[in-house]
Chain A
Amino acid sequence: MKSILSRSISQDIPLGRIIGILLAVIILVVFLSFWPPVETAWSTFTTVFLGIFIEALPYLLLGTLASGTIEVFVSQDAIQRLSPRSPILGALFGSALGIFFPVCECGVIPLVRRLFRKGLPIPAGVAFLLAAPVINPIVILSTATAFGFGRMLLLRVGFTLLIAFLTGCIFAVVRTPWEILRPTPWITAAAVEESNLEPHDPEYEHDHEHDYSSDEEHTTIPAKLRKVFLVSLDEFFEMGRYLVMGGLIAAGMQTFIPQSVLLGIGRGPVISVLALMALAILLSICSTVDSFVALSFVGIFSAGSVLAFLLYGPMVDIKSTLMFLRVFRSRPVIYLVVIPFLLVALVGVAINYFVAW
């Protein structure tokens, strides 16, 4: 355990190389965007990337501010007192918890990691992670605006709860959080103590001497508020890079893979479900607005596939998968992507076969 912790702390990539690559990429893109033959593709690429980034930014920032607020104002005791001991109740609790946290899939990830660190049980956290981007007032409202108060809304909410709950229950087999969570340099003192871990990294220990909570200067309200912003600032950079990388990949896919490849697939009861789930991953749109996009598929695609788009997109897409990798070790991320995939595909196909729409 000790070695895993210190390894992840010192996994920084050489700085010079990163700067070099970044500069090369940027020079290339700037150059290409002035270069007539390919001008338009790169211009499209940049525009789509910035579109995704600007659109997702406020939600990510709200998530990191919520996380910072919890770090500073909510004690570990409170979380542990509130969350049920039993994994099944925990998963149930977690999947409904989103109603109090209006965050989308970008915001939920920093938030859930913070809650884990404050002692939220794994089943509850996993269920919360998957459900919160849909089970929250903003998204329910936007879905209702797009589809009306009808069965699409009910099915979306119902199946999101169910799938998040089931996945949360599957994660109940995990005994200690550290089996699946990736440690970070700023684990709280209590969490480290609790799992009997001794951080090994010298820089970490150096930081640790200045434990925030024991500091006189950080006890007044303004000081606490300042701390919220500083904690959020670091988290914004940590999570923001996945938004950037995910956005770059999604923009690249959108620019260079013709959508007709997917959209041509149309109405087949199975293939349409898989196609729209793939599109949900590729588009990486925020859950707060994805129902308007889903609306544009009604009529072209089967009802089951539109539902699958609405269920899977908020749980998994390119940018959130990259963010998962920051919070969880690799194997749990595979489960987090695959289990909901199978369940959502099952629901979508079943709707297509057994429900007359």
Chain B
Amino acid sequence: MNRTTSRFLQCLIVLGLAAYLADKWISGKLAFYISSRFFPLTLISLAALGGMAGVGLWRFFRSRAPLEKQPGLERSTISPATILILLVPLLLGVFVPARPLTAASVSNRGMSVSAPVSLGSQTNKTLDVAPDDRTVLDWIKVFNYEKDLARYIGQQANVIGFVYHDTRLNRQQFMVGRFAITCCVADAFAIGMAVDWQDSIKLADNTWVAVKGPVDELTLDDQKVPLIHAQSVTPVDAPEEPYLYP
């Protein structure tokens, strides 16, 4: 591979990465990887990658002078092996089906029932969400930060999440879990609420369900954590934004 070909290959890879990012953004699947709060940063990537590919390719097609006679910049200074390493994210991104983290990832990270999430941004407002709108994360926050839990016991919970059978629970119970991420999936942590449900054993791990029922408290690992006495557990589609943002 000569250096002019190398440069051409570089431009193609950079263009490919830009196309990949644009596609993931448009399809909404970027949310599988990073928090939607950081989506605008991907615009910077798109602009920079597009600029690089544009300038690189423009030099090829514009000039009538033979490439070898042109100034050194037409030829890459980077070895072909290095160029191919940048193909790895592109190929993985294109050929491995895009999937968010699943319940199976929990086993390695552990499921937290008392996520110590964002002290700084913790205000009464976050706790003031109407019971019906509270996510798993909101309920965990309530149980973490609210002094007077009695107020919340018996309120009706209506949450969705994936099924996870936690070994700390009994056979009639399961966890309804979510992943919370702050910037990207590298910092994801799993949180969950315990659910009392007779047919718990019949639910497969990682099925998405909607759970409705009054909230009670349960003591797990010496901590008071939320427990839902489920009145209904219905299978639902996985949400488009798979993670919660603390």
Interface residues of A (CB under 8 A from B): 12-13, 15, 18-19, 22, 25-26, 29-30, 33, 40-44, 46-55, 57-59, 61-62, 64-65, 145-148, 185-186, 207, 209-212, 215, 217-218, 226-227, 229-234, 236-238, 240-241, 244-245, 247-248, 250-251, 254-260, 263, 283-286, 289, 292-293, 295-300
Q: Contacts A40-B102, A54-B184, A244-B88 known; A296 to B115 CB distance under 8 Å?
A: yes
The 6 sampled A-B contact pairs (Cβ below 8 Å) are A41-B104, A43-B97, A237-B10, A255-B108, A285-B184, A293-B182
- In the A-B complex, the 4 residue pairs with the smallest Cβ-Cβ separation, listed nearest first, are A40-B104, A210-B72, A51-B185, A289-B183
How many angstroms between the C-alpha atoms of A230 and B97 in the bound complex?
33
The reply to whether A227 and B109 contact each other, CB–CB distance below 8 Å, is no
Chain A residues touching B, majority SS? helix
Q: Closest CB-CB distance, A22 to chain B, in whole Å?
A: 6
Query: Interface 1/0s, chain B 68-81, versus A by CB < 8 A?
Result: 00011101111111
Q: Closest CB-CB distance, B50 to chain A, in whole Å?
A: 10
Q: Closest CB-CB distance, B214 to chain A, in whole Å?
A: 28
Nearest chain A residue, comparing its CB with the CB of B24: A54
Partner of B95, one of A26, A185, A236, A256: A26
Q: Contacts A237-B78, A292-B182 known; A210 to B71 CB distance under 8 Å?
A: yes
B-side contacts of A41, CB under 8 Å: 104
Partner of B186, one of A42, A52, A209, A211: A52
B-side contacts of A248, CB under 8 Å: 88
A-side contacts of B48, CB under 8 Å: 58, 61-62, 64-65, 232
Interface residues of B (CB under 8 A from A): 1, 10-11, 14, 17, 21, 24, 30, 32-34, 38, 41-42, 44-45, 48-49, 51-52, 54-56, 58-59, 71-73, 75-89, 91-93, 95-102, 104-105, 107-110, 115-121, 182-187, 189, 246
How many angstroms between the C-alpha atoms of A147 and B14 in the bound complex?
37
The reply to whether B119 and A244 contact each other, CB–CB distance below 8 Å, is no
How many angstroms between the C-alpha atoms of A86 and B183 in the bound complex?
40
Q: Closest CB-CB distance, A354 to chain B, in whole Å?
A: 23
Nearest chain B residue, comparing its CB with the CB of A235: B78
The reply to whether B75 and A50 contact each other, CB–CB distance below 8 Å, is no
A-side contacts of B76, CB under 8 Å: 234, 237
Q: Closest CB-CB distance, B107 to chain A, in whole Å?
A: 8
A-side contacts of B75, CB under 8 Å: 207
B-side contacts of A298, CB under 8 Å: 116, 119
The reply to whether A33 and B1 contact each other, CB–CB distance below 8 Å, is no
Nearest chain A residue, comparing its CB with the CB of B47: A61
The reply to whether A238 and B71 contact each other, CB–CB distance below 8 Å, is no
The reply to whether A58 and B92 contact each other, CB–CB distance below 8 Å, is no
The reply to whether A230 and B81 contact each other, CB–CB distance below 8 Å, is no
Partner of B77, one of A47, A55, A65, A186: A186
Q: Closest CB-CB distance, B111 to chain A, in whole Å?
A: 11
**Given known contacts A12-B81, A15-B80, A292-B182, what 15 new A-B pairs fall within 8 Å (CB)?**
A15-B81, A44-B102, A47-B185, A50-B33, A186-B77, A217-B71, A229-B51, A230-B52, A230-B59, A258-B107, A258-B109, A295-B118, A296-B117, A296-B118, A297-B116
The reply to whether A49 and B89 contact each other, CB–CB distance below 8 Å, is yes
B-side contacts of A217, CB under 8 Å: 71
How many angstroms between the C-alpha atoms of A190 and B84 in the bound complex?
31
Q: Contacts A33-B96, A186-B77, A233-B52 known; A296 to B34 CB distance under 8 Å?
A: no
Partner of B38, one of A55, A227, A247: A55
How many angstroms between the C-alpha atoms of A295 and B1 in the bound complex?
49
How many angstroms between the C-alpha atoms of A245 and B86 in the bound complex?
10
How many angstroms between the C-alpha atoms of A234 and B184 in the bound complex?
27
Nearest chain A residue, comparing its CB with the CB of B79: A12
The reply to whether A218 and B52 contact each other, CB–CB distance below 8 Å, is no
The reply to whether B77 and A234 contact each other, CB–CB distance below 8 Å, is yes
